[in-house]
Structure 1
């Protein structure tokens, strides 16, 4: 028996940025989103340059049943060069400034918020597979 999954007819995604993600005007942008769709799941990738996986507070990804995704985290300043006690005055500011941020967007349809698999890749991309909401068979 083939199961049915909720899938809306079209994909229109708007992404909302807050905090330092909104302030970054140059350099690698925070919050660029790619979304893929399969018969049973959604795959999304979010660019998070400057975010460290091991940073206290980390990256949090929350997904609601209606498909709303909210990603929160902190962009760090990098902490300077290891082993250096020098203080640098930055003359060029092209990277996103350090501080907290949120990235919010909607997936094309409802999901089961218990069934998602996030991976924070070493290249600063958060990759998540979220299973579509399954319509119960009658």
Structure 2
């Protein structure tokens, strides 16, 4: 890998800020892992949200024009299995504890947040494609 490849890759590694349950779940399957892909006209990002259920959680994903992404949601508690009326006390807590979480990171460049397509996959991955912000062409400084 040459120096330019390394510089390009290091620019894509986002600084991710976790709060709430996402920060506390160190022994759990990692919540908030982020992958970012880049194409000529768009960015694709995938965020791991294990324990967040699409049908029971309100996940908000806010994308700003400068490329800042902020995701908020709630990890719901594990209820009693439907086949049982027993109450369980957990001896091992491997899953992320229930509660609110937030994840923030920056995309490599500015975007048009109106042109995004989020998908919450059944495997607990939030996948979003957002178009890069197009800059108007310059006319070379010629008067109109």
1:15–1:104 contact (8 Å) kept in structure 2? yes
For residues 58-112 of structure 1, give each alpha carbon's deviation from its aligned partner in whole angstroms, at most 9, with x where no partner exists: 1110000000000000001232311321110000011110000000000000000
Name structure 1 gaps, 5 residues minimum. Answer: 1-8
For residues 67 and 47 of structure 1, what CA distance do their matches in structure 2 show? 19
Report if the CA contact (8 A) 1:50-1:78 is conserved.
no
Deviation at 1:18, TM superposition (A): 0.4
Q: Is the 8 A contact 1:68 1:106 kept in 2?
A: yes
Residue 25 of structure 1 and its aligned partner are, at CA, apart by 1.1
User: Which residue in 2 is equivalent to 1:92?
Assistant: 92
- Name the CA distance, whole Å, in 1 between partners of 2:110 and 2:62: 14
Alignment of 1:1-138 (within 5 A): 10-56=11-57, 58-138=58-138
Q: Equivalents in 2 of 1:80, 1:21: separation in Å?
A: 23
Of 84-93 and 35-44, more deviation after overlay is shown by: 84-93
- Structure 1 or 2: larger helix share? 2
TM score, norm. by length of structure 1: 0.89
For 2:23, what is the secondary structure of its paired residue?
helix
Give, in angstroms, the shift of residue 11 of structure 1: 2.3
Q: Partner of 2:22: helix, strand, or coil?
A: helix
Separation in 1, partners of 2:66, 2:35: 18
Q: d(CA) in 1 for partners of 2:33 and 2:22?
A: 10
Provide the aligned C-alpha RMSD in A.
1.2
Measured in 1, the distance between the counterparts of 2:79 and 2:111 equals: 38
Choose between structure 1 and 2 for higher RCO, CA contacts under 8 A separated by at least 6 residues: 1
